[in-house]
């Protein structure tokens, strides 16, 4: 299939390009490189030995998007492009609402106009808010505490309404849990700018000596050891989930949790990183981070049953591959 990958130079997008190319698809990337580098796409081509067609465009720009759609006979779109920093979204709500929602609308409109049958959307477990774990796709979504989370809930709603009006269209809303790790080659991975907000890149930078120690946000949660519990998923498992979803999706909206179904605490993740890589991670316990929930993990029954997809990589693989990328990465 000819697949347009928006945000394909980014963290999850680049790994998904690898999985798509390896499955034999033709990949067209649209990315404005606001949070990524073109070099990542060269590395994807190096890993796979296959070419990518690249457009450096902003996917909120309808004219640029339509030019691309007119040129390629697309079979599907995977829409990763978006802004994703939760804290920043509180400071710059308009930038987040504009970028994340307008891009979804522009792409949906182009799919309608050019009869592109499949649309896969990057959603997030954040839409479950303070529901009780494990999170199931049928749960009523609860308000999220920040504009970023709202952009995901609103985009889901817009796409659902478009399908209601055009029931022959196929949309998959994929709710990611916590993607971590990197491609096994160490050539591509997660390279946040500035000090990382998320746990695994922070640990990896402590391991490298770039940061002095990890600050663990709270050890008084009602969890196994008091630290926050999350469902970490290897980014290559997540990438492969997209390839499977594309192949199996049918008319209408389908929603899938993409996670492992297993919760891991902050301390357990630190221990696994030390065991996998033989590098000590100094840490201190500090106050809770505002907006954090105690536990977040998926019920993965639906993806297993309907997509016949489940993860194959474990926490040790995630820690090994996160370090495999970070140790060689140069800013
Ligand atoms: P990323 O920032 O690494 O990748 C996003 C890519 O989109 C970047 O390459 C950026 O340059 C590009 N981009 C942003 N706005 C654009 C625009 N208007 N036009 C063209 N390109 C644009 O982020 P990621 O971690 O790979 O996340 C991909 C998607 O998955 C995002 O939608 C994100 O919200 C969602 N998601 C991510 C996580 C996570 O933990 N990483 C979890 C849940 C959902
Ligand atoms: C973050 C986002 C969430 C997004 C998710 C996807 C925030 C507030 N939430 O969630 O919207 O959907 O990523 O990956 O950013 N931790 C520390 N020290 C650190 C960093 C994190 O103790 O320096 C803890 C957190 O308190 C949490 C766990 O590690 O318990 C995971 O944190 P993080 O990697 O930021 O992900 P989420 O909070 O799940």
pLDDT at residue 143, as a whole number: 80
Instruction: Judge if the beta carbon of residue 16 lies within 6 A of ligand 1.
Output: no
| pLDDT score for 330 | 84
Handedness of CA 65, 76, 312, 141 (dihedral sign): positive
C-alpha to C-alpha distance for 5 and 60, rounded to whole angstroms: 14
Catalytic annotation present for 11:
no
Verdict on whether the full-model pTM lies above 0.95: yes
Q: What is the pLDDT of residue 132?
A: 96
pLDDT recorded at residue 144: 84
Ligand nearest to the CA of 238: 1
Catalytic residue among 11, 96, 128, 148: 148
Report the residue among 230, 267, 270, 319 best suited for mutation to probe ligand 2: largest number of ligand atoms under 8 A from its CB.
230
pLDDT score, position 152: 97
CA–CA distance, 55 with 193 (Å, rounded to integer): 23
Cis (ω within 30 of 0) for the bond into 134? Answer: yes
Give the model's pLDDT for residue 145.
Answer: 84
Spatial separation of the C-alpha atoms in residues 22 and 12, rounded to whole Å? 15
Q: Would the CB of 202 count as within 6 Å of ligand 2?
A: yes
Please name each of the domains of the chain with its CATH number.
2-180+232-259 (3.40.50.720)
How many Å lie between the centroid of ligand 1 and the Cα of residue 222?
Answer: 31
> What tens-digit pLDDT sequence spans the chain (331 residues)?
999 999 999 999 999 999 999 999 999 999 999 999 999 999 999 999 999 999 999 999 999 999 999 999 999 999 999 999 999 999 999 999 999 999 999 999 999 999 999 999 999 999 999 999 999 999 999 988 899 999 999 999 999 999 999 999 999 999 999 999 999 999 999 998 889 999 999 999 999 999 999 999 999 999 999 999 999 999 999 999 999 999 999 999 999 999 999 999 999 999 999 999 999 999 999 999 998 999 999 999 999 999 999 999 999 999 999 999 999 998 7
Q: Nearest ligand to the C-alpha of residue 96? A: 1
Phi and psi at 194, nearest 5°, equal 75, -160
pLDDT at 279: 98
Does the C-beta of 59 come closer than 6 Å to ligand 1? yes
Q: Is 47 in the pocket of ligand 2 (CB under 6 A)?
A: no
pLDDT at res. 286:
98
Write the CB contacts of 91 (distance below 8 Å, at least 6 apart in sequence). none
pLDDT at position 301 is: 98
Helix intervals (H) in 144-292: 147-165, 199-208, 235-248, 266-277
260's tokens: 């492992």
CB distance 217 to ligand 2 below 6 Å: yes
Q: Which one, of 6, 22, 1, 15, lies nearest residue 318 by Cα? A: 15
């Amino acid at each position: 299939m000819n697949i347009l990958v928006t945000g394909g130079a980014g963290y999850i997008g680049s790994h998904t390009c690898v999985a798509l190319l390896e499955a034999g698809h033709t990949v067209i990337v649209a990315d404005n490189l606001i949070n990524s580098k073109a070099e990542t796409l060269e590395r994807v081509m190096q890993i796979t030995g296959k070419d990518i067609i690249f457009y450096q465009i902003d996917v909120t720009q309808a004219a640029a998007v339509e030019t691309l759609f007119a040129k390629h006979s697309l079979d599907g779109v995977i829409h990763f492009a978006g802004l994703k920093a939760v804290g920043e979204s509180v400071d710059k709500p308009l930038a987040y609402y504009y970028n994340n929602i307008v891009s979804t609308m522009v792409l949906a409109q182009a799919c309608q106009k050019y009869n592109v049958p499949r649309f896969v959307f990057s959603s997030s477990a954040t839409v479950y808010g303070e529901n009780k774990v494990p999170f199931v796709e049928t749960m009523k979504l609860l308000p999220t505490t920040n504009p970023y989370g709202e952009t995901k809930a609103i985009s889901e709603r817009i796409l659902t309404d478009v399908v209601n009006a055009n029931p022959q269209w196929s949309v998959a809303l994929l709710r990611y849990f916590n993607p971590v790790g990197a491609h096994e080659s160490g050539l591509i991975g997660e390279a946040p700018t500035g000090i990382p907000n998320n746990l695994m890149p922070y640990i990896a930078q402590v391991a490298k000596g770039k940061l002095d120690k990890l600050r663990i946000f709270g050890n008084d949660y009602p969890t196994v050891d008091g630290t926050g519990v999350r469902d970490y998923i290897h980014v290559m498992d997540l990438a492969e989930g997209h390839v499977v979803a594309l192949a199996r999706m049918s008319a209408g909206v389908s929603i899938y949790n993409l996670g492992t179904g297993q919760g891991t605490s902050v301390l357990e993740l630190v221990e696994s990183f030390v065991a996998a890589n033989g590098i000590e991670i100094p840490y201190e316990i500090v106050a809770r981070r505002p907006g954090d929930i105690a536990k977040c993990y998926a019920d993965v029954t639906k993806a297993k049953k309907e997509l016949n997809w489940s993860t194959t990589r474990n926490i040790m693989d995630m820690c090994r591959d996160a370090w495999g990328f970070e140790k060689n990465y140069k800013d």
